[in-house]
Every structure is written in C-alpha cells, then in structure tokens.
Amino acid sequence: MDLLFDYPLFYPLRRAFGEGRPLREVAEMLANDRMYRDPASLVTFVDLHDVPRLLNDRGATLAGLELAYTFLLTTRGTPLLYYGDEIGMRGGGDPDNRRDFPGGWREDPRNAFEPAGRTADEQAVFLHVQKLLKLRREHADLRGARTENLVTDPQTFVYRRGSLVVALNNDTAQAVVRLPVGGLGQDLLGLCGGPRLEGGVAVVTLAARTGCIFPPGAGSARKRGMH
C-alpha cells in the first residue's frame, strides 16, 4: 500500500486541538516516524467521514480548529481537508458529520460558497485556511523539508521546516519561547509580533491558541543547537 490514513497521529491531534490537552503528545507521536517507510506519504487529518467533526468535541473552539490546520498544513504528510471544515462546520457521529454544505442549490437559504453567505466566524476560518494553503503552495519547505524540533513543551511546539520556523501555542495563555536560531522575519500569518534577538537567540511571544510561521530574517544565520 502506498498511502495510509495517519490514525496514530489523528488521536493526539484531536486531544490537543479539540480538547485542549497537552500538545507535547503530538511531538511524541511524530517521534515514531522512523517506523514508516515514507512518513511524508501518510495522509494527515483532523476530520473525515468516519468520525465526529472536531468542533463536536467537548470544549472545542474555532481557535483550536484554526490551530489544527496551522499544524496540518505545515507538517510532514499529505494533508486531507474534509469538506466544510474550511468554514468550521459542526457535526456528530455518522451521518451527522455528513451534513449538506450550505449552498450549491437554488432553494438553499444561504450559499457559503460565497463570502456574502458566510457568517463572520465562517469567513474567519475560511480566510485562515486559504492563507495557509497559499503559503504551503509558495514555500516548498512546507511540503518536503525535513522537520527539526526546536521546542517541545507541554503546550508549545516549535519546529523548523527548511528555512521556515513554525511555532504553535495550544495554551489558553500567551507563551514566550526562546529559539536556538538566528534572526527571524515577520510572521507570515500576521498573528504574532516580530521576534527579537537576545544574545543570538530569537525570542517569540505567542498569543493564546495561536500558530505562527516565521521566515529567516535579513542576514540571519542558521544555528543548530537543539533537535
């Protein structure tokens, strides 16, 4: 078989991003990648037709869903986007998780295929996923570079994919992380303030339940102090 759904990763993803449990479980599961012939070929997901949608989990939030997609579209694997998650659709067990997408037929009361037919929350999720997909298309490192872990705290996970650094904060409070890298540029998602250099170490402040993607800064030199 050439491809497999990455169910071993799915469960810690749902616990972390759906229920708010420790994000470190995700990093620990990824440490098992040596068991796979080609981890990049695994199909990664947080929702599909066989399980309730992430927003159906107890305590799940739109911020958690957006953070899940920041991870999914910046880590190794072949990401699967289940229809409706791009606008934050809800749904329990089958068949509730297969609700009709709003729109597409003349008699539908609203059409979420168009911005005017989406709620403010739906539009926010849609734009976030759209931006992530655009960045993944523009930066080959997000699709094929090896992953180098920089920080794996209980609710903070920072990793490097080639020239880009991805920082995730799954906590309900802001987090400040110190990264063993040189200068970093501005967050490509526009969600985090600019990193600052302190003694050759990049210091980044992450808002609660937020993920950011940093390119290299002007004249920055890569340092390999932690794996």
Confidence (pLDDT) at 223: 42
Domain 145-214 annotated CATH 2.60.40.1180: yes
Q: What is the pLDDT of residue 181?
A: 87
The whole-number pLDDT of residue 218 equals: 63
The pLDDT value given to residue 226: 38
Does 95 sit behind a cis peptide bond, omega within 30 degrees of 0 on the bond before it? yes
Report the pLDDT value the prediction gives residue 38, as an integer from 0 to 100.
Answer: 92
CATH number for the region 7-138 comes to 3.20.20.80
Q: Give dist(CA 139, CA 119) in Å, integer.
A: 30
DSSP 5: B
User: Could you tell me the mean pLDDT of each successive run of 10 residues in the chain, 227 residues long?
Assistant: 91 97 97 93 95 94 97 96 96 94 94 97 98 98 94 97 97 94 92 90 95 82 41
Sequence ranges of the chain with CATH classification 3.20.20.80: 7-138
What beta strand segments (E) does 30-155 contain? Answer: 43-44, 78-79, 147-152
Ranges for all domains in the chain classified under CATH 2.60.40.1180: 145-214
In this prediction, residue 221 carries a pLDDT of 45
Report the 10 Å Cβ neighbour count for 141.
Answer: 15
Distance from C-alpha of 123 to C-alpha of 199, rounded to nearest angstrom:
41
Residue 71: closest CA among 158, 139, 140, 7: 158
The reported pTM is 0.92
Distance of alpha carbon 151 from alpha carbon 36, whole angstroms: 23
Contact indicator for 221, 188 with CB cutoff of 8 Å: no
Nearest C-alpha neighbor of 168 from the set 12, 8, 29, 17: 17
Q: Which helix (H) or strand (E) holds 203?
A: strand 201-206
